């Protein structure tokens, strides 16, 4: 494991450990936090990295067999996490990194792709985000199709849904700076909104969630909010979710990835 990547985990203060000690974290993960290790990085390397190297399909091709040169993952794949969701000409639409992985599994490995809900897809995604740590986020929102997705994503962000008639915007723009169940409501991008500092959400997801004891992607994090807000969750990989991801991620364009993160 690269030493520089562990530093990110060290900011976790004793107070935070104290809070989570009470929430049923496994003894194994507890030991990792105490050493300043982010279990998300272990997951990225040991589960995601192993899948990347694993030969699959009728011709026994691994991701690495196509994307590794001289023992290094080729640049465009190692930094792809900073540029997705991205327009894919063969699909004729904007796709998430999770879907790009599925595309390679189907098109180039000749296997049934891991589902977007699966641990395996999340592991490969987290591995690519781990490789891309330090790369500035730069999602395209200016080409015609990308722009359409960006605008649709902003629309989904502002759309009030569910029994409580809430939108993402209500909590992450209108109510920023207020406390909800002991958590501050924050804007999601790099810029402050009404004086409240942005959380730069896209720079630290996928993240290991201490309360869930597993790694979640940004889209999976959105589902957590949708459920809490009493909304029917949007399907992973749907046009709505991809557009929402593109919109939220664009709010952190220029910010370096610090993935995988470590969150409550």
Residues annotated as catalytic are 225
Pairing of strands 68-69, 72-73: antiparallel
Q: CB of residue 148 vs ligand HEC: minimum separation in angstroms?
A: 19
Residue 108, interface with ligand HEC (CB under 6 A)? yes
Q: Which helix (H) or strand (E) holds 77?
A: helix 75-78
DSSP line for 1-30:
--HHHHGGGGG--HHHHHHHHTTT--HHHH
Q: How far is CA 84 from the centre of its chain?
A: 10
Count the neighbouring beta carbons within 10 Å of the beta carbon of residue 178.
11
Residue 215, interface with ligand HEC (CB under 6 A)? no
Residue 209, interface with ligand HEC (CB under 6 A)? no
Q: Toward ligand HEC, which CB reaches closer, 65 or 118?
A: 65
Q: Toward ligand HEC, which CB reaches closer, 5 or 67?
A: 67
- Which position has the token pair 């029917």? 232
Residues between 151 and 180 that touch ligand HEC (CB under 6 A)? 166, 168, 170-172, 180
> SS3 string of 151-172?
HHHHHHHHCCECCCCECHHHHH
Contact with ligand HEC (CB under 6 A) among 104, 145, 193, 196: 104
Q: CB of residue 114 vs ligand HEC: minimum separation in angstroms?
A: 8
- Residues 256, 135 contacting (CB under 8 angstroms): yes
Footprint of ligand HEC (CB under 6 A): 61, 63, 65-67, 76-77, 80, 86, 100-101, 104-105, 108-109, 124, 128, 166, 168, 170-172, 180, 183-186, 188, 199, 201, 221-222, 225-226, 229, 244, 248, 263
């Amino acid at each position: 494991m690269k030493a520089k990547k562990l530093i990110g985990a060290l900011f976790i203060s004793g107070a935070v450990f104290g809070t989570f000690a009470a929430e049923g974290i496994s003894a194994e993960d507890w030991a990792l936090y105490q050493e300043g290790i982010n279990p998300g990085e272990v997951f990225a390397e040991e589960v995601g990295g192993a899948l990347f190297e694993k030969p699959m399909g009728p011709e026994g091709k691994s991701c690495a067999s196509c994307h590794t040169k001289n023992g290094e993952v080729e640049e465009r794949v190692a930094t792809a996490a900073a540029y997705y969701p991205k327009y894919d000409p063969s699909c004729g639409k904007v796709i998430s990194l999770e879907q790009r992985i599925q595309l390679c599994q189907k098109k180039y490995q000749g296997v049934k792709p891991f589902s977007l809900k699966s641990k395996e897809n999340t592991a490969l995604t987290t591995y690519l985000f781990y490789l891309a740590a330090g790369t500035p986020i730069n999602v395209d929102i200016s080409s015609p199709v990308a722009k359409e997705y960006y605008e649709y994503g902003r629309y989904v962000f502002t759309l009030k849904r569910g029994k409580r008639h809430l939108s993402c915007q209500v909590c992450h723009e209108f109510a920023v700076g207020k406390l909800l169940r002991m958590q501050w409501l924050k804007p999601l991008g790099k810029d402050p909104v009404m004086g409240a500092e942005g959380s730069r959400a896209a720079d630290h997801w996928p993240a290991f969630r201490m309360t869930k004891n597993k790694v979640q992607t940004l889209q999976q994090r959105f589902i957590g909010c949708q459920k809490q807000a009493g909304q029917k969750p949007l399907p992973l990989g749907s046009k709505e979710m991809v557009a929402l991801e593109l919109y939220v991620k664009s709010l952190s364009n220029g910010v370096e990835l610090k993935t995988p993160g470590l969150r409550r």
